[in-house]
Structure 1
């Protein structure tokens, strides 16, 4: 199994609905490190590193999010030379 890192930008009603905290919970369940942070334009940026299968699962979950979220778009880019953090943070 290989480890990889990806960055996702999540668009929709994703701020003020516990999206970052729920993403952190989902990441920790899957052994994923990284962060989730609000952006000034209303999106949430999610940087995640872990096993490819876990990354795929979490990437799918990003389209759903927590109750109250209304995700309209998710863009994901694979980062070839990213440094994987040792924990998952929210900003």
Structure 2
């Protein structure tokens, strides 16, 4: 199965609401690899790697976020899958 990779930037009220922890659990549940981190501007950035349908579903889920989040937008761009990434990590 071919993996795709997408970088996502989630804006809105997405820090301080367990967004990264929620996203990590969702990504692992769907067999994705990658990472997620807080950005200084208040957004959250993620790298999602996996089957195209699973990545697309995760992007949709990130558009809703966990209950305490208020997502304004999810901007995505395709990228080359990074090799050597194992699991899904919260990196910052």
> TM-score band (shorter)?
over 0.9
Cα distance in 1 between the residues matched to 2:70 and 2:43 = 12
Structure 1, gaps ≥5 residues long: none
Match of 2:54 in 1: 54
Q: Relative to 1, partners in 2 of residues 1:84 and 1:75: Cα closer, same or farther, differing over 3 Å?
A: farther
Corresponding pairs, count: 91
Across the aligned residues of Structure 1 and Structure 2, the Cα RMSD in angstroms comes to 1.2
Cα distance in 2 between the residues matched to 1:84 and 1:17 = 29
Match of 1:89 in 2: 89
Cα distance in 1 between the residues matched to 2:57 and 2:4 = 13
Cα distance in 1 between the residues matched to 2:42 and 2:80 = 27
**TM-score normalised by structure 1 residue count:** 0.94
Asked whether the 8 Å contact 2:10–2:44 carries over to 1, the reply is yes
Match of 1:17 in 2: 17
Cα distance in 1 between the residues matched to 2:78 and 2:54 = 14
**TM-score normalised by structure 2 residue count:** 0.93
Match of 2:43 in 1: 43
Cα offset, 1:86, TM superposition: 1.2
Q: Relative to 1, partners in 2 of residues 1:81 and 1:88: Cα closer, same or farther, differing over 3 Å?
A: closer
